[in-house]
Amino acid sequence: MSSHAFNLDSGQSALERETAHRLYVFANALKSQDEQVGDAFANLHEVLDKLIATPRFKHVCRVFSLSTQEISMLALVYLQAQDPDLIAPFLGLSWFEQGPMLSLDKLLTLLDSALNKQQSMVHINCGSAVFKWGLLRLQNDEYDLQRSVYITPFVQSFLCFGSYKSTELNYFALLPLQADPVFSACGYVQHELMNFDLVQLQGGDEQLNQWFVAQSAVQHQVKAAQYITEQAEQINFNDVVRELACLLLQASGEPVLLYWPNLAALPKAYLRKLSTLLSSNNTLTLITQSEDLTLGDIFTNTHSEPMQEPSLAQRAQAWLALCANEVATEQDKTYANQLAAKYPVALANMQRLAEKAKQYDPSDYWQTLQGLCFESQSQYCDELAKLCQARYTLKDMMLQDKVATQLHELVARVNMQTTLQARLPRFNQGCKALFWGKPGTGKSMAAEAIAGELQLPLYIVNLANIASKWIGETEKHLAKLFDSAERNNAVLMFDEADAIFAKRSEVESSHDKNANMGVSYLLQRMEHYSGLLLLSTNFKNNLDEAFLRRFHGVIEFTLPTEQERIAIWTHHLAGNADSHLQQGINKLAALFELSAAQIINICEVALLQSLMANKPLIGRNEIAMAIHREMAKQHGGFMAQQSLTNWLQGDKHGSNAYL
């Protein structure tokens, strides 16, 4: 029944007034010992039976499986709460033992047609649903016939208005529900979860599990709710039960899937009480991410649901299901496959990102979506790594053909993972490559360019720093690093690999033993890393051959040749050099055997100097100053000075004059 139906009065108010009146008449007859007291009592029950047949009372009765006697008692206590004066005639009788409301003893008497509480006690006791669910409570929560009986405020509110404000709840909250096509696209099998008292989710984090519960509720057309308090051990269990009852009333008669992540943290006594409640109720199913086997001993009707990570093909299908185009094109499929391979976006976030991308230019949907995915995956980084936002792509590098081919293969392996996995059953999703060569030859820039090409976050880890921290909690920190990188499908770059993986002599100290244990763990995580993992070293010969065989590619980076240096100088000075400097580039490349990284630094410093001097273009003086500063880093400034002087003055006696 809809909540709108409960908001309608359906004659309930008139019946409440009539029932209250007849209760008042019966009390006066009882007080005056009128011979017609029997008729007054029969008249009371006649209208009381009509009151409990109205929609709100019937709904409460159905949700909590109340007996006629229980719902009748609830109605009588409700009427007292609405109008305390109606029981004033009872004041002259001995019907008030422990408070201003009628006691349980007298209510039981009122429920029996022969005014015999012994008969009523057969149907109502401390184990009755009306008390177990907290719809009614006894004074001080003690079961005693002389205690006054009170109605819980949320039940009173529901019976009076047909609703109750959810803001009053402290332990639970209804989840907003919206159908997500990702759910079915990722192949989640639909079990009839409402057939169970308890469902245990195996695997999955809290975000995934909450999303799974919400989408299961959408599929089953039921409500979903979540336990929202952290400390399960410190809760007031009676309050929890009352809020559960309130939750069921808010659900307007629909079944509820309740996600309770830390359910197993409750004391066993509380769990047994919950199990008893659920066994008498077919509208509430508890769902928890705890795999505690003891829960199966407490709850009899249980089910285990594995939370498996969808395949790349299923993720691609999910992106297509969210696509702005009604009919997916081949290009759409290509983009979807690339997103699936590159961005392990949380399933619960995929629809939100797709909807946000649709707010922009439809023609740029996939590019916009890729940018949003990259942004969402670039927000987290472990303390052992530095998160680097890529400034380059491969087209920004001047590479030898052989090196360029190998780097493009690494990019293609990531972009084509979905296809490779479909066609090669044993395809290993991860990819590992070693970059080696002298400092400044472009190893770090190549890692940044690959991350930029793939639009993936780049984590840079200095293994020399880790090497000094082996003793203690290194494995724990490495585990956090790899877990974070895998969640975000980051390009993981380990710099100075020889600091850890150099050929080792015999172990001589406990520090060495701890270091080797750390290396073993690092090797294990590297072997199973599902993303792109890069290592760089200046000295390949220092690495063990068995270690080198683990890599898909071993790529050597060398210093650029003279012709390559000319190309690098030309590329990075383009549009910023005056004509005199441009004429001297060939001579500059011949004089100084600089790496690409050094040339880039020199160009940046020279441009800054020219701008500070209010010069629109870089001249030879700015370049000379920047080269001298760069060479001075390696104590080569003095040696470079003469060459720079000749270059600045030009060869006035030969064919190279004023180059």
Residue 574 sits in a domain of what CATH number?
Answer: 1.10.8.60
Same domain, 324 and 273: no
Residue 513 vs residue 617, higher pLDDT: 617
Of 333, 360, 377, the domain-final residue: 377
Whether 87 and 199 map to the same domain: the answer is: no
Report whether pLDDT(139) > 60.
yes
Residues 529, 394: one domain?
Answer: yes
Answer yes or no: is pLDDT of 341 > 50: yes
CA dist 126 and 143 (Å) reads: 6
Instruction: Write the CATH number for 209.
Output: 3.40.50
Please tell me the total count of domains within the chain: 5
Q: Is residue 226 part of a domain?
A: yes
**Confidence class for position 96, pLDDT limits 50, 70, 90:** very low
The residue with tokens 């360019």 is 449
Domain that holds residue 592: 562-649
Contacts 24+ apart (CB under 8 A), 639-643: 640/592, 643/591, 643/592
Distance CA 284, CA 277 (A): 9
The answer to whether residue 642 sits within a structural domain is: yes
pTM comes to 0.71
- pLDDT, tens only, 495-509: 888 777 766 544 444
Q: Are residues 178 and 147 in the same domain?
A: no
Do 551 and 617 fall into the same domain? no
Same structural domain, 258 and 335:
no
500: domain CATH number? 3.40.50.300
**Residue 654 belongs to some domain of the structure:** no
* Per-residue confidence band for 638, with pLDDT thresholds at 50, 70 and 90: low
pLDDT number for residue 137: 87
Indicate whether 445 and 592 sit together in one domain. Answer: no
Mean pLDDT of 10-16: 87
**Percentage above 90 pLDDT, the chain:** 29
Domain for residue 659, yes or no?
A: no
**170 part of a folded domain:** yes
Q: What is the pLDDT of residues 160-216, one digit of tens each?
A: 988 766 566 788 988 989 999 999 998 886 678 888 999 999 888 888 999 999 999
| Any domain includes 24 | yes
Q: If you average pLDDT over every residue of the chain, what do you get?
A: 83
Q: Which long-range contacts (CB under 8 A, 24 or more apart) does 44-49 make?
A: 44/19, 44/110, 45/113, 47/15, 47/18, 47/19, 47/22, 48/19, 48/22, 48/72, 48/75, 48/76
Q: Please indicate, yes or no, whether residues 174 and 154 belong to a single structural domain of this protein.
A: no
